[in-house]
Every structure is written in C-alpha cells, then in structure tokens.
Chains A and B, each alone.
Chain A
Amino acid sequence: MKVLLVDDEAEFVQTLAERLQIRGIETLVAIDGIEALRLIDEEEPPIVVLDVMMPGLGGLEVLQRLKLGHPNIQVILLTGHGSTKDGIEGMRLGGFDYLMKPVRIEDLMKKMEEAYEAFSTSSITEGGSE
C-alpha cells in the first residue's frame, strides 16, 4: 500500500511517515498542496491523507483538484478544528472519510485499510465497465 501524506507541519508529517513505514507502508510526503498535486500525478498513490488546514492551497481545494484527474484515489482528511464542519464538507466533495487530528495510529491504519479496499473496488468496477 502506497500512501501520500500531506501536511504543512513538516515534523509532524515526517514522523507520521516514519511510523507508517515501520508498519510496512510505503509513504510519500508533501508539505504543501502544490507539491501534493505533483506527487499525485507522478506517483498515483491509491490513498492520500490530507490535512484540511494548510496555508496557500488548502486541503479541500487539493481534494477537489485531485478528484478531477484521479477520481479513484481515496482521500482521508485530517481536520484540525474542534468542529466536524470541514470533514463533512470534505466528504461532500468526494473525500473517503475524515479523522480528527491528532489521530491514533491504529485508527489511521484501520481507515487506510478501508480506503484501500474502496480504491481496489472502484478500480475493478472501472476496469469492468470499459
């Protein structure tokens, strides 16, 4: 499983990537929206874990843009606020699900497995309909 982690908090996202690597997951890291979109085009990871609150190109905008070119990629949003408003809006825009930050690694792993299953199913469906 290959996962792109996107968060402007570089130390946070790099540490999280290291923890996922220990658990056998291939990780890519981007610390802004532009870099994230470039990596998505180049690497086409099945799963993106995306912070909603980023300066410049925000998480919801990244989500909208990536869904245009890569509708099968499953996006898990990390919301930083006490409210769930951003997460719900993200799901309306095609996000797979959202988690509140900071997140328990076990919860994130579980959500990524579910997202990967959804990615595999959508890829098979798309392949079958061609």
Chain B
Amino acid sequence: MSQKEIAFTGRIIASLSHEIKNVLATIKESAGLMEDILSLRPETDAPHQARLVKAAGNIRKQVDRGVDVVMGLNRFAHSMDEPMAQIDLNELTAQMAFLMQRFAHKSAIGLSAAPYSEPLNIVTDPFRLEMLLAAALDVCLTRADKGSGLVIQPCRVEGRPAVWIGAAPDEPPDTLPPTVAFPEDLFALKGDLEHLQVNIYDCGSAGLHGVLILFK
C-alpha cells in the first residue's frame, strides 16, 4: 500500500472506532442506570431483581471488554497517521502483544509484553514496524511449543534500542552473539529492513530461543 492508502485506511478505522466507542459508552451508562434503579428499590418491589442486576453487570463487563478492543483498534489506526513518527517501544510492544493476543491464544501460547525500565523512544515508520513485529511474532508462535509462553520486550543491545521476542525464560542478550543469523522464515520481509533501519537476528544458533530486532 502507498502511504496515501495507508493514511486513508487509518483515518477511516480511527473514525469508525471512535463511533463504536460512543455506542459502547451509551450502552455502558444505560446498563449502569439499570443497576442504579434496581439498587434503589426494595427486593420485593422488583421481580427477578437479582437476575436483572446480574444481566446489567454482564452488559457492563462485556462493554468494558469491547472498549479495550476498540481502543486497541483506534491506536492501531493512529499508527497509520504519519509515515515517520516518534514512538516509545514500550507502548508499541504492549500494543503488539494486545493485537496478536488472539493469534497466540489460537496457538495455545501465552503472549505478554514486558516493558523496559525507561522509555525507549525512536523515530520510525510505526505501521511498517508493526507489520514487521507481527511477522516476527508469527514466526515465533509457529516455533513455540503449545502451552509455553512468549515475551515481547524492548531492550538495549550494545547500547542500541532493540525488541526481543523470546520464549521464557530466555532473556535478551546484552551483546549481539557472534553466530546469530537472519531468520530464513522472515526472508520475505528483508526489503523492509532498510526502510525501517533495523536488522533481524535469529538467536537460536547462539543457544537462545528468540528473535532480536535491532535498530541501527
């Protein structure tokens, strides 16, 4: 997609997700009002009060869940706003863990994000970086054992910002292991690396279960 097409797609998704959130906000307040009214009346006045309170509570819980989903969609849409933008890798990796949660769940793998101890700001193409991280996560999900855990976390390697996607309990390396290679199953993404100013390393040959995305 061209940048113009990406920006258009993002604009439409952002707008629609905003509208969905307005709908959810109204449903949430209506369910809350039902709970309020039911709690004002003595038990004998309202037949099936307990069941109605439970149903209203369920609506509220599901709305909260829907709001989380829609906010993730909205953040994703805004990643398409600009071809280059400053982002915090802590926020981006948390967002990626959220976006890829369903794929991980389907593979029976626990996926989580672990933030770095401080903000790791970089200037990049947010949308294409998300695509790259999603592809790297896909590869790691394919390799991981069912029932295992996968962590996506920003880190610094040799002082440079990086993102580590690894199987617990392996930690990101402090220095680049000398034997690391480009993961062959990510070959299709090689063209994006120059644009994003990153290198990808498969750390399997260094005895680590993970992929490292290192910013130049």
Contacts and interface: CB of A to CB of B under 8 A. Distances in A.
Contacts, number: 51
B29 A102 contact: yes
Contacts of B151: none
Interface string A102-116: 100100000000000
The secondary-structure label for the interface of chain B is helix
A82 B78 contact: yes
A84 to B, nearest CB: 11
B119 to A, nearest CB: 15
Interface string B10-29: 00001001100110111011
B63 A102 contact: yes
A59 B160 CA distance: 41
Interface residues of B, number: 23
A102 B21 CA distance: 7
B71 interface: yes
Interface string B163-184: 0000000000000000000000
B24 to A, nearest CB: 6
A15 B40 contact: no
B22 A9 contact: yes
Contacts of A9: 22, 25-26
Given A12-B29, A82-B78, A102-B25, 19 more contacts: A9-B22, A9-B25, A11-B26, A15-B26, A15-B29, A15-B30, A18-B33, A19-B29, A22-B36, A81-B14, A81-B18, A81-B74, A82-B72, A82-B75, A83-B75, A101-B21, A102-B29, A102-B63, A102-B67
19 contacts: A11-B30, A12-B26, A12-B29, A15-B26, A15-B32, A19-B36, A22-B36, A80-B18, A81-B18, A82-B71, A82-B74, A82-B78, A83-B75, A83-B78, A101-B22, A102-B24, A102-B25, A102-B29, A105-B32
Interface of B: 14, 17-18, 21-22, 24-26, 28-30, 32-33, 36-37, 40, 63, 67, 71-72, 74-75, 78
